[in-house]
Amino acid sequence: MKLENAARQLEALGNPTRLAIYRDLIGVGPRGSSVGEIRNKLEIPASTLSHHIARLVQAGLISQERDSRTLYCKADFLNMDDLMKFLVENCCAEDSCINVSD
Partner DNA sequence: CTTATAATTCGATATTACTAGAATAATAGT
Partner DNA sequence: ACTATTATTCTAGTAATATCGAATTATAAG
Which of 90, 60, 89, 64 is CA-nearest to residue 77? 60
Bridge-based pairing of strands 62-67 and 33-34 is unpaired
Which range in 36-44, 49-57, 62-70, 73-81 contacts its own copies by CB under 8 A?
A: 73-81
Tally DSSP H helices, then E strands, for the chain. 5, 3
Note whether 16 binds its own copies by CB under 8 A: yes
Note whether 21 binds DNA by CB under 7 A: no
By C-beta, is 52 or 69 nearer to its own copies?
A: 52
Binding region for DNA (CB under 7 A): 11, 15, 17-18, 34-36, 39, 44-55, 64, 68-71
